């Protein structure tokens, strides 16, 4: 059964306005000059709030509030229940929305908000990826790589099912009030949500921006996805509760199998011969010999354990020293070098990728830069801490600008919440069912281990930080670093999968 809603009539060419509400070609060219990637919408000329304390033309006043909202969102996430519940993106966006609706900021956005949005999105794309570590991912992640690929495939398949069922309804809800300019907003947001649930919020924004989705539709999709994320993550934690670390579980199973003693009773001169699989070359025929061997093995095991504990302590000290070095490596030089590298990558993406290919090409160039044998490993490691900090700041500032449309965002959310909710319900249900079936069909494969599948699902839907948090909460130390790496892998490929998803279904619809 497909949920079909009538499409809104397309606005004719004679009445369609450009992004500034004007129709002349000269004005359209002028509007394009204000957009770095040609995809983000400048402020509307109409406002539902007739007066605002900070005017549209007050550049520094608008920037002050937007940057302040990003900082306040971070404080709320750390110190308030509401902030911890909804997370930084929705908190920052909600603060700006409230201020724009109440009249502190100009409703409909401002040129300052639009420019900050463009710069932060463009910078966040390479910065987040420059802060990721992709080297040796296959060797360091082991079976979790295959688990993640299965989880990403589950997201792709579930998104296709969801679009087939509610695509028409979603398109009518998101595109009906915007005319022909945003006629495919429904598919663009669906592609962005699919990319978001393979990688992270960065991929959602990159896909929506590259495809030219409206800010109202982008905000509506982000709100709906975060609401469902609030239900998904506690569910994942509940399923994972009480399960041991997979490597410890596998080592314990191997130890039990190797130490199993096969006792063969043979009546040979009234003696019992015990054959041990762990020491096949030794036939223990007397209790004295058995005791001596056991004592020797015990002494060796104790010495080995002491040596291992000493080595682990030394390694922990080295790791702590390395962490301190990484923290101390954030300096004026590293900041300027990282910003120079990120800006160069954005510029190359714009020059060779054009309007729609700028961010995807920038993503590809960044991954190639940090993951090839010609780039010095020492340089890559030196810029990672700085890139992580600057990338996170850019994302927070970007999310803060999303609420600047004010009441228009609320109208878009209200109109599309039901179809978006059904789409996301299908996505999560099919995703989880797919992974559960794979575990039931192939229970003995390492990549089908339930702990690894849960980590892979968390890395795909929540991103690397969520995956690490799950591993730490459940005391799965062997999955912390692999979870972080496969989450970064999702960031690297999510944008391309989202754009491919749009291309396939847009062609099919045509």
Per-position pLDDT tens, the chain of length 510: 555 554 444 444 433 343 333 344 333 433 443 444 444 444 444 444 456 788 888 999 999 999 999 999 989 988 988 887 777 777 888 888 888 888 888 877 788 888 898 888 889 889 988 887 776 666 667 888 899 999 999 999 999 999 999 998 988 888 755 544 456 889 999 999 999 999 888 899 889 988 988 888 888 888 888 888 878 888 888 888 888 888 777 676 666 656 654 444 444 445 444 444 444 443 343 343 344 434 443 444 444 444 444 454 455 445 545 544 544 468 888 899 999 999 999 999 989 988 778 888 898 899 889 888 888 888 888 898 999 899 889 888 988 887 787 766 677 778 888 999 999 999 999 999 999 999 999 988 888 989 999 999 998 998 887 788 788 888 888 888 788 888 888 888 999 999 999 999 987 655
Give DSSP secondary structure letters for 274-336: EEESSSTT--B-SHHHHHHHHHHHHHHHHHHHHHHHHHHHHHHHHHHHHHHHHHHT--HHHHH
Predicted local confidence at residue 225, as pLDDT = 87
Burial per residue of 141-161, b for 16 or more beta-carbon CB atoms within 10 angstroms, e otherwise: bbbbbbbbbbbbbbbbebbbe
Predicted local confidence at residue 202, as pLDDT = 83
Residue among 269, 249, 232, 262 nearest 460 (CA)? 232
Nearest-10 Cα torsion for 13, 19, 25, 31: -170
Give DSSP secondary structure letters for 124-145: HHHHHHHTS--TTHHHHHTHHH
Read off the tokens for 479.
Answer: 């999955």
- How far apart, in whole angstroms, are the C-alpha atoms of residue 427 and residue 225? 11
The Cα-based distances of 500 to 160, 235, 383, 493 in angstroms read 12, 30, 31, 11
- How far apart, in whole angstroms, are the C-alpha atoms of residue 345 and residue 339? 10
Instruction: Evaluate whether 88 touches 397 at the Cβ level (below 8 Å).
Output: no
Predicted local confidence at residue 131, as pLDDT = 83
Burial per residue of 488-504, b for 16 or more beta-carbon CB atoms within 10 angstroms, e otherwise: bbbbbbbbbbbbebbee
Burial class (CB in 10 A: 0-12, 13-18, 19+), 385: buried
- How far apart, in whole angstroms, are the C-alpha atoms of residue 172 and residue 362? 32
Read off the tokens for 119.
Answer: 């710069």
Residue among 258, 302, 301 nearest 280 (CA)? 258
pTM for the model stands at 0.67
For the stretch 10-26, pLDDT in tens is 444 433 343 333 344 33
Instruction: Evaluate whether 129 touches 342 at the Cβ level (below 8 Å).
Output: no
Kindly state the DSSP code that residue 260 receives in the 8-state scheme: P
Instruction: Evaluate whether 133 touches 140 at the Cβ level (below 8 Å).
Output: no
């Amino acid at each position: 059964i497909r949920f079909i809603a009538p499409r809104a009539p397309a606005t004719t060419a004679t009445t369609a306005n450009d992004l500034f509400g004007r129709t002349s070609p000269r004005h359209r060219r002028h509007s394009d000059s204000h957009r770095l990637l040609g995809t983000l919408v400048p402020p509307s000329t109409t406002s539902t709030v007739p007066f605002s304390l900070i005017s549209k033309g007050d550049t520094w006043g608008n920037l002050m509030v937007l940057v302040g909202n990003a900082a306040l969102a971070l404080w709320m996430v750390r110190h308030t229940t509401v902030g911890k519940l909804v997370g930084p993106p929705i908190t920052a966006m909600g603060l700006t929305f409230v201020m724009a609706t109440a009249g502190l900021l100009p409703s409909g956005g401002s040129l300052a908000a639009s420019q900050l949005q463009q710069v932060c999105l463009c910078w966040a794309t390479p910065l987040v990826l420059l802060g990721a570590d992709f080297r040796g991912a296959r060797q360091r992640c082991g079976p979790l790589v295959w688990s993640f690929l299965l989880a990403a495939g589950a997201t792709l398949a579930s998104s296709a099912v969801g679009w087939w069922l509610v695509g028409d309804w979603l398109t009518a809800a998101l595109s009906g009030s915007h005319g022909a300019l945003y006629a495919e907003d429904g598919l663009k947001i669906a592609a962005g949500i699919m990319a978001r649930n393979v990688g992270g919020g960065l991929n959602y924004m990159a896909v929506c921006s590259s495809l030219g989705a409206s800010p109202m539709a982008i905000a509506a999709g982000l709100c709906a996805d975060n609401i469902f994320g609030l239900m998904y993550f506690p569910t994942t934690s509940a399923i994972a509760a009480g399960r041991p670390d997979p490597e410890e579980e596998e080592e314990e199973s191997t130890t039990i199998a190797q130490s199993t003693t096969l006792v063969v009773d043979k009546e040979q001169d009234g003696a019992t011969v015990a054959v041990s699989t762990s020491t096949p070359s030794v036939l223990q025929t007397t209790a004295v010999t058995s005791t001596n061997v056991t004592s020797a093995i015990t002494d060796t095991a104790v010495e080995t354990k002491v040596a291992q504990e000493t080595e682990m302590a030394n390694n922990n000290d080295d790791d702590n020293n390395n962490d301190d070095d990484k923290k101390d490596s954030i300096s004026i030089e590293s900041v300027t070098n990282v910003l120079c590298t990120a800006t160069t990558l954005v510029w190359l993406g714009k020059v060779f990728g054009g309007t729609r290919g700028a961010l995807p090409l920038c993503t590809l160039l960044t991954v190639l830069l940090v993951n090839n044998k010609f780039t010095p490993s020492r340089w890559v490691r030196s810029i990672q801490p700085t890139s992580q900090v600057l990338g996170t700041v850019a994302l927070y500032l970007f999310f803060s600008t999303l609420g600047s449309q004010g009441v228009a965002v609320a109208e878009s959310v209200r109109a599309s919440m039901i179809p978006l909710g059904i789409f996301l319900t299908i996505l999560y249900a099919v995703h989880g069912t797919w992974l559960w079936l794979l575990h039931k069909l192939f229970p003995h494969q390492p990549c089908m281990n339930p702990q690894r599948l849960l980590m892979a699902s968390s890395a795909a839907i929540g991103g690397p930080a969520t995956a690490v948090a799950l591993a730490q909460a459940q005391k799965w130390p062997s999955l912390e670093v692999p979870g972080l790496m496969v989450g970064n892998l999702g960031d690297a490929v999510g944008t391309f999968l989202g754009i491919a998803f749009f291309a396939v279904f847009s062609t099919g619809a045509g």
